Chain A
Amino acid sequence: MMNRLSYILILGICLLITCSQLQAAERFPPPEFENHVLPETTVPAPHQDIYEYIDVAVLFAALCLASYLVLKKRNRRYIFALMIFSLIYFGFWRKGCVCSIGALQNVALSLFDSNYAIPIGVLLFFLLPLIFTLFFGRMFCAAVCPLGAIQDVFLLKPIPVPRWLENALRLFAYVYLAVAILFAITGSAFIICRYDPFISLFRLSGSLNMLVLGGCVLLIGVFIGRPYCRFICPYGVILRQLSRVSRQQVTITPDDCIKCRLCEDACPFGAITRPTHQWPQTDYSMNKKRLAFFIVLLPVLVLLCGWAGNALSGSASRVHVTVRLAERIYAEDAGDVKDTTDASLAFRATGKPVKELYSEADVIREKFALDGCLLGAFLGLVIGIKLIGSTIQWHREDYQADRAGCVACGRCFQYCPREHDRLKKLNEHSK
């Protein structure tokens, strides 16, 4: 490590000397003043690393507090207060960067690119919510994520989304996750950061398009609970799966359910599942046939989506700047286009052989073809498993919070009559 560092340093110094010698063939030799002192070039320092560790500490504390409030205190008001704090701290104060959702891309890039060393703060931002989810459920979504918080604040008039539509729309989050990973590991772009709908609002600056997009998502969010979290968030996809097997889970009430369905009406995210009743014999045998069909369909879907991913990877690779440049240079050299761009002029000024650029672009295209195929297959697998899941009925006697979909917002605690009863008894007991 030390060796490599010193090597880079020596190389850098050599480079600087050669460059300065190039520059030393100065057109106008710098004058040597007797009485005049040359001003220094100012170099304002970046923010200290310490802020990053404070962020991690606040994240950890907020996750602990959220878990306590959701699982022990069971009070929507406190959860909401913590949510507002997170919105102000992580959103408006720290300007929404770095966030756990975006950190996903840094982790993916770091796993596949040996040259990219992920900053430890970013890594912790990715890992901490996952660990908490594995133990306690989606506590990060509940009151820590600023993106979830801003949508929760704007949720005023929730209307229910039909179950089939919700399931279908959720597929988009998987596609988004796959595409984001594809672009991250090929070093093309961090699209989660680029198309973060709320970051412009947190910073109160940015391009008009992104501000309008953020406004639109919030406007939809007035009627449909947390649209970004449910249908778009790629990190939420991971949290959902971890939450399914978490050690502890959100319960609507620790008491017995009286099946009043008030909680189902209260939940704006469609995350409360109804008690199931025995399927009639005809339904049962039909579902058995469907199950068999979907199991046979699964490998077909995987292959088909893998093939589609491979087929689309060609156009996806154009997101990478090197591929785009190579295509531009090729078009210019072939005479297909007459004008030049800043990028093509800059490339020609470097004097780098065109062949080298083409071979670099080919390597990236191959990477895209392989990764596109794999991620397409992953999407096929997801669709197949979702179809298989639709034919299986889990036995439930009570109204329950759906382990995957519940973001632990705490609204159902407020509505459950058994919970009111329980709290009243607790209060009397303590008096």
Chain B
Amino acid sequence: MAENKDYINRRRFMKNSFCGTFAAGIGGIAAVLLAKASKADTVWQIDPYKCVACGNCATYCVLEESAVKCVHAYAMCGYCNICTGYLEPTATNVDTGAENELCPTGAIKRSFIEDPYYEYTIDEELCIGCGKCVKGCVAFGNGSLFLQVRHDRCLNCNECSIAAACPSGAYVRVPADKPYILKGADHS
């Protein structure tokens, strides 16, 4: 390869012009996209007003244990004794018996506040995000239970596999500095 570096032959001229074209192309794409690129990252979230609690969140997440959990907007809750988010429709007794509970993992804790009110809190360690309680609560209660992507767990995949399987288009990308869509947020 003892060619003179300064000597321009046809092949080198072609190469240089292609190189320039590619560089210009990359520069062009960079300029166009940098102009509209967002500084803030986005994260996945469920719009609770669109969610139909189909149960896909529990199974489609790439994590072994889904990043989606049930959360509770306490200000909206009726604190009912007979809670349709907590109890099986066929429950024989209104108590904490496992056979009466709707939640498959017993993740909802029921505690007595004052007559006749009970508070329902969610143990996120146990919750699998199946949305059974959400369905019950939305159908017959105030709809204070809803599903949210928990960002301490979510890997924020480029394409969320739950979003791809969501039947109601409830998954949206939201700005990372406002990462939750909470129900009844104006109450608090």
Contact B33 A245 (CB under 8 A): no
CA distance A200 to B155 in the complex (A): 13
| Given A123-B30, A193-B157, also A42-B37 (CB < 8 A) | no
Distance (whole angstroms) from the CB of B8 to the closest CB of chain A: 15
Residue in chain B with minimal CB distance to A322: B169
Residues of B within 8 A of A16 (CB): 185-186
Contact A31 B79 (CB under 8 A): yes
| Total CB contacts across the A-B interface at under 8 A | 179
Contact B183 A49 (CB under 8 A): no
Contact A49 B41 (CB under 8 A): yes
Partner of A193, one of B56, B73, B158: B158
Could you tell me which residues of chain B, from 60 to 109, have a CB within 8 Å of some CB in chain A?
Answer: 62-64, 71-80
Residues of A within 8 A of B136 (CB): none
Chain A CB within 8 A of B125 CB: no
- Size of interface on A: residues with Cβ below 8 Å to B: 74
Residues of A within 8 A of B80 (CB): 28
CA distance A46 to B37 in the complex (A): 20
Residue in chain A with minimal CB distance to B26: A130
Contact A244 B182 (CB under 8 A): no
Could you tell me which residues of chain B, from 1 to 37, have a CB within 8 Å of some CB in chain A?
Answer: 1, 15-16, 18-19, 22-23, 26, 29-30, 32-34, 36-37
Chain B CB within 8 A of A110 CB: yes
| Given A46-B156, A245-B18, also A346-B167 (CB < 8 A) | yes
CA distance A102 to B157 in the complex (A): 10
| Given A242-B22, A245-B19, also A194-B184 (CB < 8 A) | no
Residue in chain A with minimal CB distance to B183: A23
Contact A194 B30 (CB under 8 A): no
Residue in chain B with minimal CB distance to A41: B71
Residues of A within 8 A of B114 (CB): 33, 35-36
Residue in chain B with minimal CB distance to A200: B62
CA distance A157 to B164 in the complex (A): 39
CA distance A57 to B43 in the complex (A): 21
Contact A97 B155 (CB under 8 A): yes
Chain B CB within 8 A of A39 CB: yes
Residues of B within 8 A of A286 (CB): none
Residues of A within 8 A of B64 (CB): 205
- Can you list, as one digit per residue, whether each of A37-61 has a CB less than 8 Å from chain B (1) or not (0)? 0111111111101001000000000
**17 pairs of residues in contact across A and B, judged by CB atoms under 8 Å:** A26-B76, A29-B78, A30-B75, A30-B77, A36-B113, A39-B72, A40-B188, A41-B74, A43-B179, A45-B151, A45-B152, A46-B43, A52-B41, A117-B38, A118-B36, A122-B158, A245-B16
